[in-house]
Amino acid sequence: MSCVIARGVRATLGGQPALKGIDLEINEGRVVGVMGLNGAGKSTLLQALVGLIPVEGELRVLGRDPWRERPALMREVSFVADVAVIPRWLRVSQALDYFDGVHSAFDRERTHELLERSGLGLRDRVGTLSKGMIAQLQLALAIGVDARLMVLDEPTLGLDALYRKRFFDMLLAGFARGTQSVVIATHELDEIEHVLTDVVFLADGRVVFQCTSDELEERFVEINVHPEHIEIARAMGPMHERPTIGGNILMFDRGEHDRLSLLGELRRPSVATLFTAIVDKNAGGSC
């Protein structure tokens, strides 16, 4: 069953087109990474999913029109924006009180467990917390809502490696409950790829590539080719090439793996490498 259906979705911000005909379908129980360069439309798309901006075209989230049915939709959705929105004068306990009062699906006990794991105290005031601790508080509150869909917009932006690891550990700890789905926009491609079931690449307000993680494993391969074999490898039609010490690394889409293996060791490209190849070359598509 689909939790998000987008057909020809367009949006304009500040008089400029931000989404230019988005076609996208996300099934329940998936963890979807939305990736794109700055200005590609990631935040605009996520804001549209939670009804913060109007759009043209067809958009349904959990069977609802996000713009016209936002109050009903947000009873089933958790949203973490790319900037901290928790008032700095609040204590952690008061933030829990607020969520408990406004969201019928908020699980205070589960949230409290996540906060303890992060080292946050209930009497801590938001204004005294580091940026990383505030991010962890926002995620704990979002996970604490027993939502069918979590929408996370650059949740680790600007955080150091330790906080990012804790953040994704918290995400994994709160996921995998029934048919819950997660849509997350991030620049931290390599750090998050192990939790993703699907990837979506955006460029210039459009979806240029989408695929499941399993299909990525089967479909793409790269090989470090020694200079004496480079022309043979190039004749086999690589989709991307980059230089490295002692040779070149070539990436293939549905290449002849048996023949390629004669030229060197094959490996699966990282999501970050694939993103660079597809977005830079505008070689988008769908599996």
Q: What is the mean pLDDT of the chain?
A: 86
pLDDT for the residue 222: 93
pLDDT tens-digit readout, 47-87: 999 999 999 999 999 999 999 999 999 889 988 886 667 88
pLDDT tens-digit readout, 159-213: 677 777 777 776 666 565 556 889 999 877 777 888 889 999 999 999 999 999 9
pLDDT for the residue 177: 56
pLDDT for the residue 149: 92
In this model, does residue 281 exceed pLDDT 80? no
Tokens representing residue 12 in the block: 């304009």
Contact 211, 183 (CB under 8 A): no
Return the ∠ at Cα 85 (arms to 82 and 90), rounded to 5°: 145
Is residue 287 packed enough to be buried (19+ CB in 10 Å), middle (13-18) or exposed (0-12)? middle
In this model, does residue 32 exceed pLDDT 70? yes
Beta bridge partners of 202: 36, 207
Q: Phi and psi for 99 in degrees, rounded to 5?
A: -60, -40
What b/e readout covers 255-270, taking b as 16+ CB neighbours within 10 angstroms? beeeebeebbeeeebe
Distance (Å, whole) CA 172 – CA 188: 16
In this model, does residue 282 exceed pLDDT 70? no
Distance (Å, whole) CA 145 – CA 138: 11
pLDDT for the residue 201: 94
pLDDT tens-digit readout, 138-169: 888 888 888 889 999 988 766 677 777 777 77
Contact 220, 252 (CB under 8 A): yes
In this model, does residue 286 exceed pLDDT 60? no
Which residue has 């979002």 as its token pair? 142
Distance (Å, whole) CA 252 – CA 219: 8
pLDDT tens-digit readout, 243-253: 888 789 999 99
**Domains contained in the chain, CATH given:** 2-204 (3.40.50.300), 216-286 (3.30.70)
Range from 25-39, 127-141, 213-227 carrying the lowest mean pLDDT: 127-141
Q: How confident is the model at residue 34 (pLDDT cuts 50, 70, 90)?
A: very high
Distance (Å, whole) CA 238 – CA 235: 8
